[in-house]
Homo-oligomer: A and B are copies of this chain.
Amino acid sequence: MALLRAHATLTRQMDANLQAEHELTINDYEVLLALARAPERRMRRVDLAERVLLTQSGITRLLQGLERAGFVERADCPTDRRVVYAQLTDGGYERLREASRTHLDDIRSLFAARFSGGELESLDVLLGRVLEGDSDTDCAIPD
């Protein structure tokens, strides 16, 4: 299956670059990005987990790292005491912007090196179909 190898090759590259230049995992990056676009830059942990395809325990531990680094803070929910929001800090937002500069370049060069614009589009359409319902897979950071 080409998909398996294709993905492994590409993410390995992105992950290595992100980690070398910004000390962030791909999942770290995806979480920061998700938070940056969420209303008030906060999300419930459950929703984050679904967003980046981790389990809840995975999210708990990933956020522990981001909290230690000061990129994310815990925030209680006034209406439901079970939930603990993950709240993006200004520092976290800054780090995301820095990281995005080189990360987007990485992505562009990894893909653009191998595909034409039209091909990219059909790829996106095809792969998008794997993800039945959920949209929101582009790369921009709000603001």
Contact = CB atoms under 8 A, between A and B. Distances in A.
Contacts of A53: 5, 8-9, 12
B126 A119 contact: yes
A106 to B, nearest CB: 11
A6 B6 contact: no
Contact of A2 (B6, B8, B114, B131): B131
Contacts of A8: 53
B129 A115 contact: yes
A115 B127 CA distance: 10
A4 B11 contact: yes
Nearest to A131: B5
Interface of A: 1-12, 26, 30, 53, 107, 114-115, 119, 122-124, 126-131, 134, 137, 139
Given A3-B7, A123-B126, 10 more contacts: A1-B137, A2-B123, A3-B6, A6-B130, A7-B11, A8-B53, A10-B130, A12-B53, A114-B130, A123-B123
